[in-house]
Chains A and B, each alone.
Chain A
Amino acid sequence: MNGSTDERAGRLRPPKILHWALLVLPLLFLVLFYFYPLAKIVTLSFLPDGSWQPDQLRRIFHSPVFGRIIWFTTWQATLSTLLTLAVALPGAYVFARFTFPGKNLLQALTTVPFVLPTVVTAAAFRALLGNNGLVNSWLMTILDLTTPPIKLDQTVSFFLLAHVFYNYALVLRIVGGYWAGLDRSLSAAARMLGASPWQTFQRITFPLLLPAIGSAALLVFIFCFTSFGVVLILGGPSYATIEVEIYRQAVQLFNLPMAAVLSLIQIGINFLLMYFYARLDRKTKSGFYSDTAMGEAIQPGTGSQKLLVGSNVAFMLLLMVIPLLALVIRSFVGEDGLTLAFYNALFTSQAKSVFFVEPISAVKNSVGFGLAAMVLAVILGLLAATFIASGDSRQRSLWDALIMLPLATSAVTLGFGYIITLNRPPLNLRDSLALVPIAHALVAFPFVIRCILPSIRQIPHTLREAASLLGASPLVVWRKIDLPLITRAILVGAVFAFSISMGEFGASAFVTRPHTPTMPVAIFRFLGQPGEMNYGQAMAMSTILMLVTCSGFWLLGRLDSYRKGALH
């Protein structure tokens, strides 16, 4: 799209003031729950008594350790992102183009890892690939070995594998959803003109997909960059990301200035990345749009199609479903084989403790927070995405990057920031439950933006102009044109917003709160004390967490298919 059309579109589109109005709510939210707490904790760290104390910071420039940590963080995030893209893009293609039995369920299952606490994921992988895991014992018996052949624990490979496990669904759903909505007549034309399938992909499909791939890759990168539990637990103590070091400095060593500097470095690196990405993203926006109904997914027909679908499904089963299954099985197996003891205990015993809750209330709490965070994130994300997509100025790239910042910010730092800021009426929220979904939404709403933006940008201005010329108000244009075309993207964003909350991501882990046991909180409570029953109940609660999440996503998937069905 060249400059002149943009200008023309600009004149026809509603006045500027309306666009800035879109930003009011997201901006207010960010200022209150992000910039203000962050600024205050950073200032307090640097000027504890109103004076600048640089002594505690000197080390950062003298110790080689911090340089190494920053390098390691960047390196592992890059590698994790590339690996995830490499294995998930073929999967995205399969999901975009083909139907097969159980597709909906498989899609829901791939998103489940997102909500699992790291300790539980570690247990799942160890049950399979650990020194005494299934695969090793099996290999040792078959090959008659005395030591386990696979040594995964506390290696780089282990947490890279876990990063792929956690982020696979991100690429699958963001790229897959976008891919399914691409106009297929272009690639069909290319094929007719004699292009090979590879040429078609390279020249037509891939460039069209770039915005979605970029969105997904950016999210995966930031997630891995700020990785905390995965690196800490699976990688072992020899590896530390910036986020891990911030926690160490702030909590264990009480060196707040150092923690603040590291937080700023983490934010700075990600801000630059997001800014350049936003600039690039604006340039790659494509105006291709299909005015026919979105392409139907087909059943795999030819042998090679069947092979493609089969191998990808097999990979997903291997990577996602089997480790999850290992957990489920563990929750049903006791000393003497199959048992329901852990589930029975979950529902009956321990009722003595003040902090005991019925599993059903834990489910209710989790789902309640999840829905609240989701609604908040979707509203804010939709407003912000519409704002970012609707301008032409470079400023919008800046806004784009700014709005994404919460995702790249240390949870400890922000959590501590809440303590010292939201402490007076009317915003006396620091120990209230409302802060939990707010903290979740803060991480979730940049996610929603990244899911929606590629789709909004794909809508050509000509459509909106036509509608405006025919007398439709901006609101009607948005409702009749934009909304139907981005519903799928909103759904994907909602799914992730919900999962982020169910998995208790971000600052909520460091927010002080009255006792409201969500499912992850309950899992941690069981894992805090020795004993077979505690471990078993943790696995049983994890199974329930997976079940609830999976059925939620499956329902959303059904809703999506129903909506599509209604469209045709």
Chain B
Amino acid sequence: MKKRVKHILAGFCSVAAMMMATSGWAGSTLTVMTHDSFNVSKEVIALFEKENQVEVRFLKSGDAGAALVQAILSKNNPLADVFYGVDNTFYSRAIEGGIFQAYDSPMLAHIPANLRLDAENRLLPVDYGDVCLNYDKAWFQEKGIAPPTDLADLAKPEYAGLTVVQNPATSSPGLAFLLATIGRFGEDGYLDFWKKLRANNVLVTAGWEDAYFGHFTAASKGDRPIVVSYASSPPAAVFYSEKPLTEAPTGAVVTDGNAFRQIEFVGILEGTKELELAKKFVDFMLGKDLQEDIPLQMFVFPANDQAKLPEVFMKYATVADKPVTVDPAAIEEKRNVWIEAWTDTVLR
């Protein structure tokens, strides 16, 4: 019996070894650590791999927050060469963590200044998305109510019980939306707004999936026609519709001061042994090939202003002209206080 056990164990070990071996490559490997929502086309990555004779290996490490914490924890012995997916709500944590090294990529010339938060270029902007209200066009048409055009609308009596938002303590768009209200109504005013929203029967869910697919009337059988999502969600709804659509089923509210711009960054990790390759990969991420791939893979906007948008974006996507801005240092410093105050106001 012991022998049999040994055999099974040996078998298991060899399976494990095989699994590890298959992830290897004869040439060099560049490891990119990222969050679970990252996506890119095969052929685009193949371009980079071919040109540089390298295999790109992606390590998915949970949601954006969890991935960053893991990168910081492994600082002394980094898991990867490049990290993609720090956003501006976690920006200061990443910088203070001291895990990124500066790189003045030549591609930065094509990135608008308002997206470049780091003067030292440790974190380079890759894409952005405006977190804002989405509404179900058909629902509002049917009820004969005007869809919202402003955050303040949500507190009006005719919008009672219509809105679903995400908990900023557990969701990244939820936090972005809380920041939108802070930017819009100020640190003195945002809690008053949320008080009114609570009185108006706002629904709070833990995450985006649950809010959008569980409660939004325009997706599955929900009961709320207004949801917090992205300005690029309407083109996604068209792109992934079951039947071809000529009009987006949902609208996004991107009027001035009503959306929060989430910017996602890439950076080279301190301690990488493949610095030259890592630099090339960062250039590649900011370059046209990958930038033009971003919209349909991740449904956010490319940071490079030379990247052409796909047709479905040109037709159905909107961009906020004047998104709300909140200083990243203030976000890191006050995140806990703001979330705690929000929790006391809305949930307790």
Q: Which residues of A contact B (CB under 8 A)?
A: 44, 119, 122-123, 126-127, 130-133, 154, 232-233, 236-238, 244, 247-248, 250-255, 334-336, 339, 341, 351-356, 368, 372, 375-376, 379, 412, 415-416, 419-420, 423-424, 430-434, 437, 475, 478-479, 509-510, 512-515, 524-525, 527-536, 538
Contact = CB atoms under 8 A, between A and B. Distances in A.
Given A354-B45, A379-B8, A528-B36, A512 B169 contact: no
A432 B175 CA distance: 32
Given A232-B170, A513-B60, A354 B41 contact: yes
Contacts of B212: 530
Given A251-B63, A530-B229, A130 B205 contact: no
A425 to B, nearest CB: 12
Given A248-B170, A524-B36, A510 B74 contact: no
A531 B1 contact: no
A132 B223 contact: yes
19 contacts: A122-B210, A232-B207, A236-B205, A237-B206, A248-B170, A254-B93, A351-B42, A368-B15, A376-B12, A433-B23, A509-B62, A510-B62, A512-B70, A514-B59, A515-B60, A531-B239, A532-B237, A532-B242, A538-B213
B65 interface: yes
Contacts of B310: none
Nearest to B234: A530
A354 B69 contact: no
Contacts of A352: 41-43, 297
B206 A434 contact: no
Interface in B330-348: 335-336, 339, 347-348
Contact of B209 (A154, A510, A528): A528
A133 B221 CA distance: 8
A513 B70 CA distance: 12
B77 A424 contact: yes
A423 B80 CA distance: 12
Contacts of A232: 170, 206-207
Nearest to A534: B240
Contacts of B213: 119, 123, 527, 535, 538
Contacts of B203: 154
Task: Please list the 7 inter-chain residue pairs (A to B) with the smallest Cβ-Cβ separation, ordered nearest first.
Answer: A531-B240, A434-B16, A512-B61, A533-B240, A251-B65, A237-B167, A530-B236
B41 A353 contact: yes
A252 B19 contact: no
Interface in B195-245: 203-210, 212-214, 219-223, 229, 233, 236-243
A515 B67 CA distance: 14
Contacts of B149: none
Contacts of B61: 512-513
B240 A530 contact: yes
B295 to A, nearest CB: 12
Interface in B67-102: 67, 69-70, 73-74, 77, 79, 93
Most chain B C-beta atoms within 10 Å of own C-beta, residue among A132, A253, A515, A530: A530
A529 B299 contact: yes
Contacts of B5: 379
Contacts of B28: none
B16 A423 contact: no
B116 to A, nearest CB: 24
Interface of B: 1-2, 5, 8-9, 12, 15-17, 19-20, 23, 31, 33, 36-37, 39-43, 45, 57-63, 65-67, 69-70, 73-74, 77, 79, 93, 167, 169-170, 175, 203-210, 212-214, 219-223, 229, 233, 236-243, 250, 297, 299, 335-336, 339, 347-348
Given A132-B222, A531-B240, 5 more contacts: A233-B205, A368-B15, A416-B73, A432-B20, A531-B219
B59 A512 contact: yes
A59 B255 CA distance: 40
Given A236-B204, A236-B205, A533-B242, A354 B42 contact: yes
Nearest to B299: A529
B311 to A, nearest CB: 16
Nearest to A533: B240
Contacts of B42: 351-354, 356
Nearest to A515: B58
A233 B239 contact: no
Contacts of A251: 62-63, 65-66, 69
A475 B1 contact: yes
Most chain A C-beta atoms within 10 Å of own C-beta, residue among B9, B57, B69, B250: B69
A538 B42 CA distance: 22
Contacts of A126: 214, 221
Contacts of A336: 243
B221 A416 contact: no
A374 B336 CA distance: 41
B65 A252 contact: yes
Nearest to B238: A531
B207 A233 contact: yes
A339 B242 CA distance: 10
A254 B67 CA distance: 12
Contacts of B297: 352-353
A534 B19 CA distance: 30
B58 A433 contact: no
B212 to A, nearest CB: 6
Nearest to B348: A238
B169 A248 contact: yes
A254 B109 CA distance: 34
A516 to B, nearest CB: 8
B169 A237 contact: yes
Nearest to A133: B221
Contacts of A356: 42
Contacts of A375: 8, 12
B79 A419 contact: yes
A53 B175 CA distance: 28
Nearest to A435: B16
Nearest to A424: B77
A132 B217 CA distance: 10
Contacts of A247: 170
Nearest to B220: A535
Contacts of B15: 368, 372
A299 B336 CA distance: 62
A353 B1 contact: no
Contacts of A478: 1
B5 to A, nearest CB: 6
Contacts of B220: 123, 535
Nearest to A423: B77
A321 to B, nearest CB: 20
Nearest to B11: A375
Contacts of A123: 213-214, 220
Contacts of B36: 524-525, 528
A432 B236 CA distance: 33
Nearest to A250: B69
B206 A233 contact: yes
Given A531-B241, A532-B242, A253 B222 contact: no
Contacts of A353: 39-42, 297
Contacts of A416: 69-70, 73
Contacts of A253: 335-336, 339
